[in-house]
Structure 1
Amino acid sequence: MIEEGIVAFSGWMTNFELLSSGWRAGLIVFGLVFGTATVAFMVSRVIAAMERKFIETRNIWDDAILHAIRLPLVFFIWLQGVYWAAEVAYYYSEADVFTANDALLEIGFIWVVSWAVLGLIKQIEQVLVSPVKMKKPMDYTTVNAISKLSRMVVIITVILIALQTLGYSISGVLAFGGVGGIAIGFAAKDLLANFFGGFIIHLDRPFKVGDWIRSPDRNIEGTVEQIGWRMCTIRTFDKRPLYVPNATFTTIAVENPSRMSHRRISETIGVRYEDIDRVSGIVSDIRSMLQNHDEIEARQTLIVNFLAFNHSTLDIMVYTFTKTSEWVKYHEVKQDVLLKISDIIIGHGAELAFPTQTLHVADSVKLKHLEHDFGRDQGRGDTANEAGERSLRDNHEEAVSQQKSVEKHYAKPR
């Protein structure tokens, strides 16, 4: 068809003796390229207008399909135009470089189809995980894993078809792959281990994108940003990216705090020994407060008991769980609980205890200080009674000063 059109146009130009063969070829090539550009521009505009119109409809797939095929369709139009222009140039020049036109057209067509299919897979992935387009969006990690697997199948299929189009035997390629796969497996065992590690993560799903994970075996903690076929990207809490090979997760224990059902409050509250007679009432009121708290899950384990006689405190154990598992809200609930416990203790006329120490001074030390002070006062002309009273008063003031210093040093709230 192309050749018949060229012959007719060339004969018409020859009859009228208008241009040489070179100019006729250039004119035809220019007309084909210009026409291709015009058609490609018009098709692109039409599809863009259809996208804007279909995006307002209830159908969630029509605009996705149009967006996936827009660029491949424009590329296909250019592919056809360039092919026709190359055929014209080959008709006039018969250069060997244009003998591969047919093969390039077939390869280009395969590429256009694969491009459209890969774009459609990407659009389907975005629709399935979008909370705007889907009432119940699917899990991103699962959809992403299926999308990656589908793209890999498409790419491998396209490569095999392209090799067959170029004249290579697929059976020979597969046989070479079977023999060479052994050598490649030994050379890239770490890469394969990471690949299968990523497959296990997608299969078992110990975590997904957006989860907060940590490992007691390794210094790994943060939010999962991406699960690839070779490694996972984790954003630590100081906002640094951490890249962990997938094979690592097959040999370490991983905690997933994002899947916690509740968060625990476990505190030991200390009151003074002087308030031993008020401990029973304090324990009862704290337990009642927790059972009636809106943010405390009373159906979980709830323990409030007098725990132990400590060095300077009477310890009360408070053990309960919050309804929320969110980190920020948990601390708000915990703050409210602790403040209410403080109010209960104060309401019973008791006080929160802090570490204290009592100093006992031996009698021999006291007598030595008394004799020293008495000799000093005799030199000043004081009587024995006055010297003794002054010495006792000084010792008392010194003991009080030492006790205040110790209390100030150890007075830290528990």
Structure 2
Amino acid sequence: MVAELTALERRLAELLPIYLDELWGPWLQLAAIAAASALSAWVVWWILKFGATKLVGRTKTEVDDRLLEATHWPLWVSVFLIGLRMGIARLHLADEQRIVDALQTVALLFWIVAALRASGVLLRALARHRSRGALVSRHTQPLFENLAKVAIVILGAYLVIKAWGADVSGLLAAGGIAGLAIGFAARDTLANLFAGIFIFADGPYKIGDFITLDSGERGMVTEIGIRSTRLLTRDDIEITIPNAVMGNAKINNESGGPHVKYRIRVRVGVAYGSDVDHVEAVQLQVAADNPKVCEQPEPRVRFRTFGPSSIQYELLCWVEEPVLRGIVTHQLVKATHKAFAAAGIEIPFSQHDIHIKEAPSRQTLAARNAPPANQSDRPSAGDPMAPRPADPAAD
């Protein structure tokens, strides 16, 4: 009996290590691989961090630092899950493919979140450092940020569905049909939207500019939105114009060009016989005495034409902003009138001289007004005061 028990113990001692190795060996290997993967992920991250930090430290912007920060957890999770997948392959599980799909989904979710953060960082940086003609500005940044988020989420959902082996052709077809229906229903809104984007990109005007449209509206641009542009007229009336109209309109930007200064023209006529040099000097002095008139470019007086009653001159000068056009023109006209009156320069009113070569005599006028010689004294048949003939039927 003792010999049999001893033999059984020896048999168990031989089989138990083999059984435990078959049962726990793969799981212990998985745990070891997972630990090694986590350690490898940290090592890779620290290597990239210190290596990339030296590169991004040479730049003055913080955009690259934020992008590097956004890739921290996605990179760590990706390296860890790659090692975990290698360990799972050693277990030979029945649902191994589903577990692998789940691991891929987790990695994709981390990268989707990182892409959302990175897109926001890039668009905000582009909006802060916008150059003329760039699509992204502080006005269009929310639009492009939302579009980027939608595109990233749609792409991420597509990759997740593909990771699980599902057929997405039906979803793509349905999405295309829905996109066509929405585009047809909102074509006016989309027209304004795209026109607004191109206005931001082309930059024909900016906030604060004075513009005049071919339809006659003139005012200062107070807001450039995605759907419309707003103008404030000199009467303090706000006009909202759809961007689709602005995109096809002829726009006269008074604040454009090499500088914002606006040229004023003041026309005046002086009597023939005036000292033209003295007239020019008086007008230049009027412009020099006005503090709102720019010294550069210098004011100038130009002779334009010989008018019917006067010699036409034009005073040309510049003001700092188009908004000063009305008040400065008023001041210059008033000052010119006073200066001409003080200098004895006549501003003639419009007049016409009539020259009569020969005046008709009284006899000629009387003959013209006399009745014709064959006119009878009897009243005519058409005269209402003539007596009516007797009507025989009345008797």
TM-score with structure 2 setting the length: 0.49
Structure ID, larger Rg: 2
Higher fraction of helix: 1
